Amino acid sequence: MGTFLTVVRFVLNGYFKLLKVVVSVLMGLMIVPVTLQILSRYTGIIPRYIWTEEAARFCFIWIILLGATIAVKEGTHFEVDVLPTPEDPKKVAILRLVVCAFMLLFTMVFVLNGWAYAIFGYNQTSELTGISMVFIHGAYLLAGISWLLFLCEHTLTAVSVLLGNTEAVKHLKGDPNVAR
């Protein structure tokens, strides 16, 4: 399982880096319509643009969902530390599997409903920007699928630790030897 897990981790780390770049670009792009909104509202220099509000809202939706995806990969989303982190790596792995199981329930809601939502938006277009709404509604489906991929990585890592792979221990969340 070690080699397979290494390949999975390599591919998902590349995807993770791509997501961080996309979120950064979207943050930069969102500055443009928001700045235009502010300038048009408080100065007479430029006319009021209606499309800017919609463009900012669409960027914001993608930023939120991709940001949540990044947090799932980092193991910092949808988790609350109620109990102290166990010292034994196998207990940490069991705790990680429990967290992944609960997160999987929410992930499946996003995947199944995201699919229906994307189909719903397929034949619709935005009135102001003319963008097909599938590009907006599809963000929920993409987030759900991405969460599923990252949860599979976390699950494989935890199972690998339970099977005695000492190399996988450093990838468990909560291990004090892992640099975050």
**Rounded CA separation 38/49 (Å):** 10
Share of the chain above pLDDT 90, in %: 49
pLDDT at residue 170 above 90?
Answer: no
Quick one: average pLDDT of 9-36?
A: 93
pLDDT value of residue 178: 41
**Rounded CA separation 123/105 (Å):** 29
DSSP 125-156: B-TTT--BTHHHHHHHHHHHHHHHHHHHHHHH
* Cα 58 to the center of its chain, rounded Å: 16
Query: Would you list the domain boundaries of the chain?
Result: 2-171
**Rounded CA separation 136/122 (Å):** 10
CA max distance for the chain: 68
Q: Give the SS3 label for residue 27.
A: helix
**Rounded CA separation 170/11 (Å):** 18
Cβ pair 177, 100 in contact under 8 A: no
* Token pair of 14 as six digits: 């590349």
* Token pair of 32 as six digits: 């443009």
pLDDT value of residue 78: 60
pLDDT value of residue 174: 46
Ramachandran angles phi, psi of 134, nearest 5°: -65, -30
pLDDT at residue 168 above 90?
Answer: no
76-130: per-residue pLDDT in tens?
Answer: 876 666 777 788 888 888 988 998 999 999 999 999 999 999 999 998 998 877 8
